[in-house]
Structure 1
Amino acid sequence: MSTLRNRRGILGAAGVLGFLVLVEALGRLGVIDPEIIPLVSTVLATTVEIAFEGEFLSNVGDTLLACLIGLVIAIATAVPAGLLLGTVPVIERSVRPLVEFLRPIPSVSLIPLAMFLFTESQDAKIALIVYTCAWPLLINTMYGLSDVDPQAKQTLRSFGFGGMSIVLRVSLPSAAPFIATGIRIALSVTLIVAVSVELIAGGGGGIGNFLSLAGSANRVDRMLAGTIWAGLIGLAANALFMAGERRLFHWHQGSTS
């Protein structure tokens, strides 16, 4: 499995490198106007340059802080809600229509409402991150509970354990890999939501604010460099979480996907 993963990584890196070389060559040959789309070498140099700028690092910190706070709040609310809905069928049937109605609503379409309800852009950003992350956490928690071995729960009942004890001793540990997958999915969208709010709402800090200022100054190289760093941060966060997920839930088949 590791050999296959390494081979895919090498092929992926080769593909990216080939694409960058091609775009650089097209720019130097004049096929692509460097005034409109800067040379790859220029963008990469700017990417390294802004990594040492205090202003850019401060913007990155603002975005990551909002992502972290929003994700923690989403976990603290959606996982218990999923446990409740997954263990009490009557409540689940009552709430299911509301969940199915709200879940498909794009978080970007709620940015104007969030800006109206929250005076601070950071609060609006966190609220939309919570909203977006809550759904994969809620659904995956409920799905994980449906996968729990009923015989294990029945065994605890026969020994006199109550409902809460069964949830904590059997249901929650069995559903943990599914919850972890929900967290990974939520983690992948936090940065997207945060940057989208920063771009549309304007003001405050964040990577989106950095991109807006770069665009206003007609610095396409800085815009692309900021976008590259946003992508690298997202890739690094996902890779770190997947590594921890595989280590913690190596016994579960879905943890290696």
Structure 2
Amino acid sequence: MLGLLIATAIAVPVGVLLGALPPVERTIRPVLEFLRPIPSVAIIPLAILLIPVDELMKVSVIVYAAVWPILINTLYGMHDVDPVAKESLRSFGFGPLAVLVRVSLPSAAPFMATGIRIACGIALVLAVSAELLAGGVAGIGVFVNLAGSGNRTDLMWAATVWAGILGALANVLLRAGERRLFRWHTMRTGAAER
């Protein structure tokens, strides 16, 4: 959860900034497109070497992995804002900050929420993977390692199922939060029937 919160605190403002300033986005985009496809699991061994504290290493890897879906969805949300709505507000004398707060952010918010929901699943995968590779004191990955060393496949399966249940539960809760917060969006897009 901590890694996901930090990733959200980083990715949403950066995504809003890049989405609101197209010249800055065009400048930064090649760097983003270079870093984004690097497999997050592949940086775990490097993180183990660079960050000796287990919890800090785990959170750092989760932040790296979870930033991308939130950032990209925020960018897409900012690009999807209705230009007529922005121009209408500008024609009434509202400045760029007011247009951002009153039109762009509310319009992009459902995209941001979707990015956070996707990132939640990625964060769980990275947390378990980091525990599997680096060990630690507690966690599903540590439990799987211990069960594996005792040749207890039943416990390994139980931990795997538990991870799936946690992921599904987090997805259901976040999706319910999205529907409640953005009821207007689901009604507008027709997603209410799903």
Per the shorter chain, which TM-score range?
A: over 0.9
Amino acid at match of 1:132: A
Q: Map of 1:156-235 to 2, 5 A cutoff? A: 156-235=89-168
TM-score by length of 2: 0.93
Residues 106-161 of structure 1 deviation map (CA, whole Å, 9 limit, x = unaligned): 01110111112211111111111111111111111110111111121112222332
Amino acid at match of 1:220: T
Counterpart of 1:54?
A: none
**% same residue:** 59
Q: 1:209, CA displacement in angstroms?
A: 0.4
Calculate the aligned-residue CA RMSD, in Å. Answer: 1.4
Larger Rg: 1
Task: Report if the CA contact (8 A) 1:79-1:137 is conserved.
Answer: yes
Residues 54-88 of structure 1 deviation map (CA, whole Å, 9 limit, x = unaligned): xxxxxxxxxxxxxx100100111100000011011
Give, in whole Å, the separation in 1 of the partners of 2:149 and 2:73: 41
One of 4, 17, 20 as aligned partner of 1:84: 17
Counterpart of 2:43?
A: 110
Corresponding residue SS for 2:52: coil
Counterpart of 1:42?
A: none
Q: Map of 1:42-191 to 2, 5 A cutoff? A: 68-191=1-124
Give, in whole Å, the separation in 2 of the partners of 1:113 and 1:167: 39
Give, in whole Å, the separation in 2 of the partners of 1:254 and 1:219: 47
5+ residue gaps, structure 1, are: 1-67
Task: Report if the CA contact (8 A) 1:184-1:241 is conserved.
Answer: yes
Corresponding residue SS for 1:203: coil
5+ residue gaps, structure 2, are: none
Moved more, 161-170 or 85-94: 161-170
Task: Report if the CA contact (8 A) 1:177-1:255 is conserved.
Answer: no
